[in-house]
Amino acid sequence: MKKIHYILGIVGVASVLSFPVIAADVSSKATSSSASDGAAPHHKGMEHDGKGPFGHPPFDQILSLTDAQKQTLKAAHEKQEPAMHDLHEKIHAAHEALNKAGDTKADDATLIKLSNDLAALLAQQEVARVKAHQQLVSILTPEQKQKLDAFMAEHKDGHDRERKWK
């Protein structure tokens, strides 16, 4: 079970890092609306100071994205959001089923099947994350790619996440 929790933790971090620009768009909207009406930010973890959930400025500011780049990413996110939400719900249900089976001392065959089901869903999520990241990188200028490289190198999370965006 520890391995599954470790994998889910990695997937969670990877998911957060793969949609930073989209989250940045949400945070800028949340910050502007919360500043104007005193309401809470729309995105969990977003602060009123214009910083993202980890205390960093949104990626649109870090990378100096153009309005056209922001719109391209926003459109891609809106297109993918229903499928990603559905996939997230399936992962949650599969994880709960595996935990329940473990709690009821299910046989190894059942645990293996449930683990494989969860692993297949996590693989789908990773493919979607990589594709979203590829799309982000595909619209960046060489200078923005250098900024992204520098940011990622500075904020490595203990895993080998340093990449070069060619």
* Domain assignment present for 36: no
Range(s) of the domain holding residue 75: 2-19+65-154
pLDDT at 143: 95
pLDDT at 56: 60
Count Cβ atoms within 10 A of the Cβ of residue 38 and give its class: 0-12 exposed, 13-18 middle, 19 or more buried: exposed
pLDDT at 152: 85
C-alpha to C-alpha distance for 105 and 116, rounded to whole angstroms? 17
Contact 47, 41 (CB under 8 A): yes
Question: What are 40-58's pLDDT values in tens digits?
Answer: 333 444 444 555 555 567 7
* Domain assignment present for 49: no
The radius of gyration of the chain's CA atoms, rounded to the nearest angstrom, is 18
Question: What are 74-124's pLDDT values in tens digits?
Answer: 999 999 999 999 999 999 999 999 999 999 999 999 999 999 999 999 999
Longest dimension (CA), the chain: 56
pLDDT at 157: 67
Where is pLDDT greater, at 16 or 152? 152
Tokens of 73: 């990413």
pLDDT at 49: 53
* Domain assignment present for 8: yes
Averaged pLDDT of the chain? 74
Count Cβ atoms within 10 A of the Cβ of residue 43 and give its class: 0-12 exposed, 13-18 middle, 19 or more buried: middle
What is the pLDDT averaged over residues 124-146?
Answer: 93
Tokens of 15: 């998911």
- pLDDT above 90 for 11: no
What is the pTM assigned to this prediction? 0.61
Contact 15, 129 (CB under 8 A): yes
* Domain assignment present for 94: yes
Helix axis angle, 2-18 to 108-138, nearest 10°: 20
C-alpha to C-alpha distance for 61 and 69, rounded to whole angstroms? 12
Contact 52, 39 (CB under 8 A): no
pLDDT at 45: 43
Counting the structural domains of the chain, the total is: 1
C-alpha to C-alpha distance for 121 and 119, rounded to whole angstroms? 5
* Domain assignment present for 137: yes
